[in-house]
Amino acid sequence: IGTISSLQRQLEIQESQLRKTTSEKEMLQRKLRERESQLQAMSTKICSLSEEREHEEMMMAIEKENCSLRQAVTELESKLAEHDKLISELQGTVSQLRAEVLSSQHHIQKQRQAQEEIQSRAEALQHRELQTRVALECITSRFERYRSKIIQATFSTAGSKPPQAEVTDEEVLEAMQKIINERLEFHQMLKQKGVK
């Protein structure tokens, strides 16, 4: 944004200089037209002179004036050429600055779009993280209830001693395996005795 502001300031300065130069060119062209009008007026005066002496004096004055006017016209044309060149250079600089401003604005727009996309992804990830945490808490709660029921069922069978402290998963597994083994042994014993 600072680069764009700097480029826009340069663009305004160049455009101001271009307007000033164009105004000077128009003024020079106006002076040139005035000089040409004066030259035409002087030529018209020549035609209206009646006496040869006055005509000769006037011709000398006109010739002198013509030389002066031609020199002024040459100088004005030279200045106009310089101003045309300067205007062309200024127009090129203005075009370049405008292109740089547009390029900078496009770059900033792309950066904003990328930032918005990253922000959107971050929000989506946060939402998924929240959903995952909720699901994990739900699964953890269900697992704890299920584990509690297993412990209660395991240690509430006949001959089992209720746990005195926190029971580990390995102790619960051992107790369940013991119950299963005892039931298998009992089942085998019943089969051997012929009891269905």
Quick check: is 152 in a domain? yes
The pLDDT value given to residue 186: 87
What kind and span of H or E run contains 169? helix 169-192
Q: Which two tokens stand for residue 16?
A: 């101001």
Ranges of residues in the chain whose predicted pLDDT is under 70: 1, 46-55, 157-164
Structural domain contains residue 136: yes
Compute CA distances 45 → 37, 38, 71, 103, whole Å: 12, 10, 21, 62
Beta strands in 116-183 (DSSP E): none
Evaluate whether residue 47 is within a structural domain.
no
- pLDDT at site 192: 87
pLDDT at 53: 65
Please check whether residue 157 lies inside any domain of the structure: yes
Domain limits at 164?
Answer: 122-193
What does the pLDDT read at residue 48?
67
In this prediction, residue 74 carries a pLDDT of: 84
Is residue 69 one of the residues assigned to a domain? no
In a domain, 94, yes or no: no
Give pLDDT, residue 127: 94
| Residue 116 lies inside a defined structural domain of this protein | no
Please state the domain count of the chain: 1
Model pLDDT, residue 85 = 87
Give the pLDDT confidence score for residue 129 in this predicted structure: 94
- Do 59 and 46 meet the contact criterion of CB atoms below 8 Å apart? yes
